[in-house]
Structure formats: structure tokens, C-alpha cells
Structure 1
Amino acid sequence: MGDWYSAEYPSSSLHSLQGYRVFISIAMILGDGLYNFVKVLGRTIFGLYNQIRDKNSRSVLPVGGRTSSPTDSLSYDDQRRTQLFLKDQIPIWVATVGYITIAIISTATLPHVFPPLKWYYIVVIYIFAPILAFCNAYGCGLTDFSLASTYGTLAIFDFKTGYMTLASPRSMFVSQIIGTTMGCVISPCVFWLFYKAFHDLGVPGSQYSAPYALVFRNMAILGVEGLSSLPKNCLTLCYVFFVGAVVINGIRDIVGKKWARFIPLPMAMAIPFYIGAYFTIDMCIGSLILFIWEKIDKAKADAFGPAVASGLICGDGIWTLPSSILALAGVNPPICLKFLSRKTNARVDAFLAS
């Protein structure tokens, strides 16, 4: 502090340590997501090429010793889930027409709402949005966390839940529309309740400091002032971690599944790096439980592991409601655990000793 960035900035400012956390995590997410985007795109093109090349020479009858399809190695339950999940998909033309329609509407209307926003800015955004959306969807599928707000609140639905519950993507999409419509009514009511109950809402250092609001504000300031206002060497570190995420993924693919499971995913490292240590602790405890469960009964762990994980995630989210009610009633938790810096911890110890 004071060397790479000014000590006058608060910790929540993107001009200080927060800038390194946010932009380095974004660089890792983009590196991981873009690597997998290119890999999936390459495999798709290669697969289409093989299908076209072997279309006329493919044998009608099965040949002994030929490699079986990937679904043959799956259990009956997984094959059934795959069959039902892929049976009722959203047509490609619906997604394409919807995306283009929304892009046209946004390009025509947003410049009137925000005059400094030029129409060609919006066009460029919609050109690059699918790639970033793939990165976000890939990370959400791995960790059940959506980081759309950074490039965390959950903004897209994890389609693996639909796969596990024998629901189709179309029904999941309709459910998401219903949930989004309900949120348009529920979210303003919740905000109004908090706004009336807590007078320090959004104030840095308060119980409800709204950290994402500070992040968005600082990012808007950086967008006006330019990247030159970032902390010293922040952009260089972003380049390094972006390349590092790509290299780590490459190593995982080279060494194979046997050793790849010992190499952490860059996406999984980036998300707790941005959100905080509590997410890392939750993931570590969950992984330890699953590891012990697999040692005791691997069949049951494979069958019920995702269901247990979904229950833990759901319970953690539902607890927010009673927690908010207790906070409105002024009830304080009996135990509070905090992680303090060495300097602050020394001041606390000195105060308690006096």
C-alpha cells in the first residue's frame, strides 16, 4: 500500500487492492472460458468434418471391435436423462431470431435513454456478447455461480438441474421467464423494505454496504477515465493470469483425466478470489465430504452427490430470508467470525488487553 496504489483510496475502490482482485479474476475467467470456447468450437468443426467425410463410407451394420458411442458407457439413468434432456430443446431459430430482435430494439431505444451511448457501441456489444456469455455459462455450470455482474447474484439457471430432474431445456427456459417476471415485482418490494428498515443501506462499512454497487460505480468511473487509472501493474498482472488460465487448461488436457483431477480449474480459483474466502471454505468442506463418501460407497456418492450438493446450495440460499427477518427484528448472532488483517488484529488485541 502506497507503492503500487495510493494509501488514500479505501479498500472498496478499484483504484486500490479491489482493482487487482476484480480485474485479475475477470482475466482468469475470460482465459478459462475462451479456452473452452475455442476447444468446443474446434471439436464441433472437426466432428462435422468427419461426419461429412464418412457420410458415404459409413457402414450400416455394426462392426465388431468398433468403438462404441459415448452414451454406451453411461448408466441407464444417465442415458434416460440425456434422452429426455435432448428431446425437447429450444429451436436454434428461436434463439437466433430472439437475439437479433432484442439487439435491434436495444440499438434503436438505448441511445434515446442514454444520449452519450452511440448506436454502434451497442452493436459491438451484441457482437461480443455471445463469447462472454459462453464464458459465464461455462463458469456457472462448473460452480453454480454466475459472474455476469462482474464482466454474485445468480442470473442464469443451471441447466444441469433440469438434466438431473428430467426436465427439458424448454421447460427450464419458461420457468426462468416466470421467475424473472416475479422478480420484477418481488425485488423492488424487498429493496423498499430494506431501504425503509436500514438508514445506512449502501454506506461503506455498514451491515448492508452494497459492495456490488460500489464495484459498478468504480467500473463506470474507470470506463470514463480509462485503464490508465488502474493500480500500478494491474493490467500486466491481468495479462499474466489470462495466459496462466489458458496454460493450466492446456496442461489439464495433455495429462489426461487421471492427473487432471489434481489440477485446479482456473474458473473455480477465480470465483472465490473475487467473491471471498467463505466460498472457498464451503467448496473445500463439500469436496471433503464427497471424497470421504466416495471412499465409503462410491455408487451412492455418484448417484446422490449432485442431489446433496443441490440441497446444500438451496438451503444456503433460503437461509437468506430468515436471516433478513432476524436482521429487521434487530437480532444479532450469538457468535461472529471475522478475518482481520495483521494490523487490525493487533489493534483489537491491544484494545481487549487494556
Structure 2
Amino acid sequence: MARKFDDDREEEDEDAAESVERVFEGREVPGWRDQVTARALAVSALLGFMFSVIVMKLNLTTGIIPSLNVSAGLLGFFLLTSWTRLLDKAGVPGVRPFTRQENTVVQTCVVACSGIAFSGGFGSYILAMSEKISEQSGEVKDEDSIKNPSLGWMIGFLFIISFLGLFSVVPLRKIMIVDYKLSYPSGTATAHLINSFHTPQGAKLAKRQVKTLGKFFAMSFSWGFFQWFYSAGEGCGFKAFPTLGLEAYKQKFFFDFSATYVGVGMICPYLVNISVLIGGVISWGIMWPYIEHKKGDWYPADLKPSSLRGIVGYRVFISIALILGDGLYNFLKVMTRTTSALVAQVRGPTLPISGGADDELSPAETFDDQRRTEVFLKDQIPNTLALGAYLTIAVVSIITAPRIFHQLRWYHVACSYVIAPVLAFCNAYGCGLTDWSLATTYGKLAIFMIGAWAGASNGGIIAGLAACGVMIGIVSTASDLTQDFKTGYMTLASPRSMFVSQVIGTAMGCVIAPSVFWLFYKAFDDIGTPGSEYPSPNALVYRNMAILGVQGIGSLPRHCLEICIGFFVSAILLNLARDLAPPAVAQFIPLPMAMAIPFYLGPYFGIDMCIGSLVRFVWDRVDGARAKAFAPPVASGLICGDGIWTLPQSILALAGIRPPICMKFLARRTNIKVDAFIRSLPT
């Protein structure tokens, strides 16, 4: 009997050691108002601006945005810990201790703010409306199909579309988090990270991680500053270094010394980076050289370089086919899983949706779940408030959106708002199952549906792009909020503090993100131009989706439709093969969405990302534990330093200060001709 008692005590001790909430059991959980503090919002505004600059740069270069949640949580922890310590040392009385709930508020607010820099469409549907992108698409100028960016209407538009998604999923928070026990992998991972920061061991590791991030931030920022001196003209600087030879450089195969995409490569899964490189080899290494040999046969030889009737048309529409094939497959896959999971939940509501290996929860898990559920259900958000706010904002939006875009009729917006809550729920639920947000897929569907409904003669292009913005704004914020509810659930942050911080972060983003874009737009005249520093490839892709929606397949060049159908089917088959193949084989099957990105832009950034992957691979093999702890801070430092450098670079450009040196690379024969020409000039 004594032995049995000892065994039970040992099991209880083990359970307590495994329980997260037993570690924090003696700490009081602050009320929701004490979680949303002034210092947390001040730090959130600072980090929100910083991350908006980074996301905007990534948006306007390749459109690949890695998860920055870890960096937001880490930097929020560092700044607020430093804040409280400085006040303590200064002898300021009544300084509140920094809690994990406050850390969660900062992370939520920062991600909500910087998320608008992506979902706001500055590198996609908003820029796609501009005259510059319209000229690249080769269409006849029409006032009804053009709306150039302006700070005023962008801020107003974002304010009327970005909050609806938040109110649409609030009534479902308990069902998603407590009843269905959806996993939300990103939200769960962020919660584990924040919880670990606020333990003694985690705090020590966080300090070292912040120090590492700061070191590589300084290196990356300095490297960007150094490169700027040599970029005085077109085709100048380290970005024009023909690292693989001049012939390869013509087909965009080179390493451009970008610290940003080396860092992105260290964060992104290996398969994403390899898929990008494979897409670049297939397109720029095989297909485009072959199609260029058909000049004069498949398409006229005297077209403008940017004409969609020529080689650019193949690059754009084939990448669209890959994107749509991948999007359709994943849409059907997530919808099927969502429907089957809902049916299973209705039939057996007591079973967790994740279907764990054990039917019974361990005592430690039961304690954590009970504690978290108790706090999560304590501060309720009235459903009547959410419903009333949704209807109010919807009415305001239905009235004001057509005033911003006269091509968009009130009934287009009203129809979107009737459908949107269902799609928001589907996206939030599917994101909980798969960690995959399909917001851009729903946006593309809106482009085709509303564009075709409005028609080419009634400004269908702008109507479709604006409807895309409405749909993305609602659906993306809905999934973001439910992810944050999961993070708050696991850190004992109040649902009210999560909701309020999400609303405040979204409001910050509606002002900060357009302002950052406006700075880029005014500082760099060639934004959206192929081959420039900020080519924004997604803008032309979205523009041509809108054209395809209102004009049909008649806008495609010769044989382009057949090739597009082939790649559309290939994208579906690749995804199907990945799902049916054993995991050992599936990990080597490329991702169609990642393959599509370099089809228009080129493979050079894929080389950067693969170098980052190689660094991470070697590091994992040499010292896996250290790599797991410090690779994300190293990558974040590289991304943040290079990204923040664009801010002083933009200010220098606006001030008319240009780089002093042009570093260029010429073939030997060209160099001989240049030397001869220089010698012929009078001294």
C-alpha cells in the first residue's frame, strides 16, 4: 500500500512537471484591462511599424512572406522586460510586472498591424489598379479600368473592410477553441514560445536570442547600407553581380547578395525553397528560351517587351494557371476536411476534433485544459455587440465603398457581405485544422465573380479587384483572430484583451501600412516595373486575372491556353500525389504555388533562399539543438536589418540623394568596345 502511494505521488510529480499551468499556478492572472496596457500598445505601435516596413518590402519584391510571429513575440518580450527593469532601476514606484498575458497582447497587436501590410493588397490588388500596371498589361487606356493609389482613399477603404472579419467569428470563439479543440498550429506554437519566455530558463534563452537577433540585424543593416553606395544606375551594384556567368545572368540565374531572402530561406521549409528553384529552372532555364525561339511564329516579333501578347503573356498566364490549380485543389481539400470534421463533431461532440492517439486525457492535460477553459470563458464578448457591429460596419461599407470605386455597385458589396461570414468561418475552421489560410484564394474567386458580373464595359476590372480586397480583408482577419484566441487560451490571456488588441492592431495597420506603402511609392518611381528593385510581380498577376475575368480567354497569346491547361492540371496532380504518397516520398514532391512565383520574376531569389536552406541544413547537422534555438533569431535579424534599411533608403531617395558609384559587369568584348569609345573621347 505504501508502494502504491509512492507510485501515485511520483506520477503526480511527473504530471506537475509536464503541466504548463502548474508552473504559473502561484501567479495571479491580471484582469483584461491590466493586460492591454499603455506600454504594451506603445511597444506594439513601434514594432508594428517596423514589421510593416519589412512585410511591405517582401510584398513588393517577391510576395513571399515568412511567419514573423516568433520575432514579434521575442522583441515584445525584450522591449517590455527592458522597460520594466529601467523603471525599477530609476526607482519609479508602482511598476507593474511584465506578464505573459501582456506579451500575448503585444504579439497579437503587432501581427494584426503588420498583417494589414499583406492583406491590404499593396503588392497585389491595389497596385494592380494603377495606370503603370495597366500599361504593362497592354490594354487600351480606359478611365474606368484605372485607379491610381492615393493615401486618402487607401486608408478609408481599409477602415471599412478590415474589421468585419473580426466581428464575424466572435460568436464562434468557444466552439472553435473549447468545444472543437482545433489545433491552430501557428497559434499554439506562439503560445508555447511566450509561455517559455516567462520561465527562468526561457528568459535566459530569450536574452541570448535577442542578442543574436540584434547582432545579425546590425550586420544586415550595414550590408544594405554598403551595397547602396554601388547602385548609382540601372543594372548597377551587387544585385547585378553575374555570380554564375553572364549568360546565366541574362536568364536571371545569379546570387543577388540579399540578406532578406537568405534569412527567409532559413525560416521557410526546405521544400518551399527547392520548389521555388525548380520552378525557376523549368521556366527560365527551359520554357522561356524555347518560347523566345518561336518569336515571329507564336507571337509578333515587333511587340513591346512588356506586351502580354508576347513572352510576358506566357510568363504571367502560366503562373496564374499554376496558382489557380493549386488554389482550387487546396480549397476543395480544406472544404472537404472542414465538412467531414463538422459532421463528425455533430455526431460525436465530446470527441476532440484533432483525434489524438489516446482517448483519455492525462491528469496534467486535464488540469491545463480546465484552468485555460475557466479563464477563457470568464470574460465574454456579447454576441449582440458582435452582430450589431457587423451590421453597422456592413451598412457603412455598402454606402461608402461604391463612392471610393464607382465601378463597384452597392449590390456587389452587399452580396459579398452576405457570403463573407460563411467563408470567414470556413477559412478560420480550415486554418485550425491545417494551419493554411485560403484568404487570397477567396479573393481571386471574387475577382472572377464580381468582374464578370460587372462586365468589361462597366469597369469590371476595378470592380473585381476592389471586391477581391473586400473578401481578403474579411476572411484573413477572421482566421488571424481565431489564431490569436488560441494563443490567448494557452497563455491565459482574456478573450476580451485578445479582441481589443486585435482591433487596435488592425486600426494601427489601416494607417501605418498605407503610409509605409506611400513612402515606397513616392520614393521609388519604378515600383511595379519588371527588373526594378521592387517589381511587385503579384500586381500584374492580379491585374491579368481581372482582365481574364471580364474578357475571357481571348486575351491569351497563341498556344498559351493549351500550356496553361497543362500546368493547371499538373498543379492538381502534384498536390494529389503529395497527399497520396507515403511521407518519405511526399517530402520530395514540389509545391505548385512556390513553383509559380519565379515563372514571372526569375529564379534569383530562389538561389538566395536555397543558400539560406543550405546554411540551416549544415547547422542542423553540426549542432541541431543550437540551430533550433538560434536559427530563427539569426534569420529574423537578417530579414529585419535589410528590411529596415529600406526606410532610410526611401528617405534618401525622396531627398534626391543618389548613390555615388555604379558597379557594373560587362562581357570582355563589350568592355573592349567601351574602352575604345572612352579613349576616342576628347580629353
Indicate the TM-score class for this superposition, using the shorter chain for normalisation.
0.5 to 0.7
Matched, 1:18 2:312: yes
State the SS of the aligned residue for 2:572: helix
User: How is 1:13-52 mapped onto 2 (pairs within 5 angstroms)?
Assistant: 13-52=307-346
Q: Identity of counterpart residues, as a percentage?
A: 42
Corresponding position of 1:68 = 358
Corresponding position of 1:283 = 609
Which has the higher Rg, Structure 1 or Structure 2?
2
Deviation at 1:147, TM superposition (A): 9.9
Matched, 1:236 2:562: yes
- Aligned alpha-carbon RMSD (Å): 5.1
TM-score when scaled to structure 2? Answer: 0.37
Letter of the structure 1 residue corresponding to residue 325 of structure 2:
G
Does the CA-based 8 Å contact 1:15-1:230 persist in structure 2? Answer: yes
Deviation at 1:318, TM superposition (A): 1.8
Q: Out of 249, 255, 260, which is 2:586 matched to?
A: 260
Deviation at 1:281, TM superposition (A): 1.7
Corresponding position of 2:190 = none
Corresponding position of 1:183 = 513
Corresponding position of 2:672 = 353
Give, in whole Å, the separation in 2 of the partners of 1:98 and 1:242: 41
Letter of the structure 1 residue corresponding to residue 509 of structure 2:
G
Corresponding position of 1:342 = none
Deviation at 1:294, TM superposition (A): 1.7
Give, in whole Å, the separation in 2 of the partners of 1:180 and 1:104: 19
Corresponding position of 1:331 = 659
Query: C-alpha deviations, 1:36-69, integer Å up to 9, x for none?
Result: 222222222222333333458x79xxxxxx8238
Query: C-alpha deviations, 1:13-32, integer Å up to 9, x for none?
Result: 32222222222222222222
Matched, 1:4 2:298: yes
Corresponding position of 1:245 = 571
Structure 2 gap segments, 5+ residues each: 1-294, 448-472, 674-683
Q: How many residues align?
A: 314
Does the CA-based 8 Å contact 2:331-2:441 persist in structure 1? Answer: no
Matched, 1:316 2:642: yes
Letter of the structure 2 residue corresponding to residue 24 of structure 1:
I
State the SS of the aligned residue for 2:576: helix
Alpha-carbon distance change, 249 to 52 in structure 1, aligned in 2, over 3 angstroms: same
Give, in whole Å, the separation in 2 of the partners of 1:47 and 1:226: 37
Give, in whole Å, the separation in 2 of the partners of 1:306 and 1:201: 32
Deviation at 1:285, TM superposition (A): 1.2
Letter of the structure 2 residue corresponding to residue 32 of structure 1:
D
Alpha-carbon distance change, 174 to 110 in structure 1, aligned in 2, over 3 angstroms: closer
Matched, 1:299 2:625: yes
Deviation at 1:240, TM superposition (A): 1.9
Give, in whole Å, the separation in 2 of the partners of 1:249 and 1:226: 27
TM-score when scaled to structure 1? Answer: 0.64
Does the CA-based 8 Å contact 2:652-2:658 persist in structure 1? Answer: yes
Does the CA-based 8 Å contact 1:13-1:218 persist in structure 2? Answer: no
Letter of the structure 1 residue corresponding to residue 657 of structure 2:
A
Give, in whole Å, the separation in 2 of the partners of 1:262 and 1:292: 19
Deviation at 1:300, TM superposition (A): 3.2
State the SS of the aligned residue for 1:180: helix
Give, in whole Å, the separation in 2 of the partners of 1:271 and 1:206: 15
Letter of the structure 2 residue corresponding to residue 12 of structure 1:
S
Query: C-alpha deviations, 1:300-346, integer Å up to 9, x for none?
Result: 33344444333333233223224435554211566457xxxxxxx8x
Give, in whole Å, the separation in 2 of the partners of 1:11 and 1:48: 51
Deviation at 1:247, TM superposition (A): 0.9
Does the CA-based 8 Å contact 2:521-2:527 persist in structure 1? Answer: no
User: How is 1:69-108 mapped onto 2 (pairs within 5 angstroms)?
Assistant: 105-108=396-399
User: How is 1:146-161 mapped onto 2 (pairs within 5 angstroms)?
Assistant: none
